[in-house]
Amino acid sequence: MEYLEGKNGGLKILAEKYGIENSQIRKWVNLYREGGIEFLAKTTRTYSGDFKVYVVEYMHQHSMSMKQAAAHFGIQSDGTVNKWERIYYEEGIEALYEERRGRSRNMSDKKQGRPPKKDVNENEDLLKEVRRLRMENEYLKKLIALVQERERSEQKTE
């Protein structure tokens, strides 16, 4: 409220006065401007998959930053929006519908949840193997063609 009312200077002075980061005050101001005191109240929220998809798509359609999107939708942390965006692009829309908090209910040896990221080296090795197999295939085709040509020429001479 001090910042919005213009009391005691700007962000830097308030940050020094209360011993917190400028960015934190800026985040609070943006949240307050978008939704009032309700957006500032610390509550643990669970968001639906539809909401997560909507936030990410809305953010891109309106060219918003993660901080702007978080403030616009009353999400306490822009890191949450960042995580949703990463999941959206790396794992697809369906991944946003999965619950990822806490331990899994089934504590068996089977690992559940998101699949591990593919190793870049593994992909490169697979590509090399595909190239090698293609070359081998071409070599065998040429060899078969030469053998057939030789057999035809021997049949003509007989």
Say if pTM beats, i.e. exceeds, 0.85: no
One-letter identity of residue 40? L
Tokens of 55: 């936030």
3-state class (DSSP) for residue 51? helix
105-139 per-position pLDDT tens digit: 665 555 566 666 666 677 888 888 899 999 999 99
Asked if residue 149 has pLDDT above 70, the reply is: yes
17: which residues sit within 8 A by CB, 6+ positions away?
A: 8
Cα–Cα distance, 66 to 132 (Å, whole number) = 45
- Given pLDDT bands bounded at 50, 70 and 90, which one contains residue 18? confident
Helices assigned H by DSSP within 92-119:
none
CA-angle at 48, arms to 106 and 83, nearest 5°: 80
- C-beta of residue 96 within 8 angstroms of C-beta of residue 84: yes
Encode pLDDT of 35-92 as tens digits. 777 776 656 678 888 888 899 999 889 988 888 888 888 887 788 888 888 888 888 8
Q: Which of 71, 97, 103, 102 is nearest to 84 (CA)?
A: 97
- The mean-pLDDT minimum among 7-11, 112-116, 136-140, 149-153 falls in 112-116
Considering just the CA atoms, what is the radius of gyration of the chain in Å? 30
Nearest to 78 by CA among 92, 91, 63, 68: 68
* The predicted structure's pLDDT at residue 136: 92
pLDDT at 147 exceeding the cut of 80: yes
Residues across the chain: 158
